[in-house]
Amino acid sequence: MYSPTSVFVTASTGLAACAIGGTTLHSFAGIGLGIGEKGELARKVATKRDAKKRWSDCKALIIDEISMIDGELFDKLEYIARSVRGPYFQNKVFGGIQLVVTGDFFQLPPVHPENPEKYFAFQADCWNDCFEYQVELTQVFRQSDLSFVQMLNELRRGQCSSVTSQNLTFCDRPVRVPDSGILMTKLYPRKLDVNKENEQNLRSLNQKTVAFLAEDESKSEFAMRQLENVMAEKKLLLSVGAQVMLIKNVESGSGLVNGARGVVVRFASINELEEGQNVAKTISPSGLWPVVLFACDGTERLLRPETWSVMDGTREVASRTQIPLVLAWALSVHKCQGMTLDRVEIDLSKSFEYGMVYVALSRVKSLEGLKLTGFDPSLVKVHPKVVQFYNELTTCELS
């Protein structure tokens, strides 16, 4: 067993890192964008005191969402680990660090891989030497409808039977707006489309907006930069009628979890919250707080500020306190990765890359909560190298 200070939790993206209480892999490594020759990067890391200390202290490195790390970068990190950790570790794979990586290569791929021959992390020269065990977990927890699970398993591997195609075509249908007024969330591949959709809908309400300003604390510039990865926004604008989504687990027993959908029904004035009057005034200069009707339990809840922490081992190095909501007329496929949504609308005629159709469809619990337009079986794309990789893996089901 390792001490908590020698175990570092990272992920390939900022959102994934925040979800598991870690930092991005790039930030941990001290490599910036990771562009450049491996020797040059190693020399730069060696001159950064904090980055070098992280590498030296590290005995176990956890990397989530490994599918978005390309093989060229993975090889660079392995070289840096051996170079920076000192002579004793120069001949040990990954500098003697135990690696625990998780993710699904059938999902979103690396954004801008440097080397087409090393598109995926498993194509790195050092990949097989780094792991004693490589196992595929097969138990599905998000969906309980077995027929829907079977359909998703097909799509995940780039297959689309006539039955699956027919079922998905039927999802292009009018959907009744529930009495609660909580609409389906539209998923887009691009953040630009998401922002446009949310901003236009907020303006169209013709209601007075209320601003909420995040309260940030940090012990270093490095830690402050990590707050950019927190899903809570620096400035959040809401109004009555705004479609919103909860971005933090607030009350799991009632379904108030990350991804729960609702609509702002009013604002309440409260003189002091548990977090402290000074913080409350900073976050809500107006003194107003959103009351949200949630779909999960049909009740109205007053939302109070919540805190997101950036951790370095067991030590908190930065935090953001903000109302745990984002506008949710639309979300990006990247942003909802890891979430479970009740009702989703997807237009597949938009530009979707490898794995994105599966990721988008697998966010919803059941076909009943899915409105799908522009579906064509040819859009179900899986990289052949990924199929080959999984065909050679051991499978394991958790009970």
Highest mean pLDDT (candidates 107-116, 138-147, 292-301): 292-301
Q: Does some domain include residue 69?
A: yes
Domain closes at, from 272, 303, 330: 330
| Residues 117 and 202 both lie in one domain | no
DSSP state for residue 271 in the 8-state scheme: S
Q: Does some domain include residue 141?
A: no
| Residues 302 and 361 both lie in one domain | no
| Residues 76 and 202 both lie in one domain | no
| Residues 169 and 196 both lie in one domain | no
Q: pLDDT averaged over the chain? A: 88
Mean pLDDT across the stretch 283-312? Answer: 88
Q: Does some domain include residue 140?
A: no
Residues 206 and 52: their CA atoms lie apart, in Å, by 53
| Residues 158 and 54 both lie in one domain | no
Q: pLDDT grade, residue 354 (50/70/90)?
A: confident
Burial (CB < 10 A; 0-12, 13-18, 19+), residue 257, is middle
Residues 58 and 314: their CA atoms lie apart, in Å, by 13
Residues 221 and 228: their CA atoms lie apart, in Å, by 12
**Contact assessment for residue 185 and residue 261, using Cβ atoms and an 8 Å cutoff:** yes
The number of folded domains in the chain is 3
Q: Does some domain include residue 269?
A: yes
Structure tokens at 316: 């908190």
Position 17 pLDDT exceeds 90: no
Residues in contact with 179: Cβ distance below 8 Å, sequence separation at least 6, in sequence order? none
| Residues 54 and 76 both lie in one domain | yes
| Residues 325 and 189 both lie in one domain | yes
pLDDT the model gives residue 395 = 65
Query: Which of these, 6, 20, 95, 32, lies nearest to 64 by C-alpha position?
Result: 20
Residues 134 and 103: their CA atoms lie apart, in Å, by 12
| Residues 111 and 70 both lie in one domain | yes
Position 179 pLDDT exceeds 90: no
Domain that holds residue 88: 4-132
Mean pLDDT across the stretch 300-323? Answer: 84
Q: Does some domain include residue 137?
A: no
Q: Does some domain include residue 338?
A: no
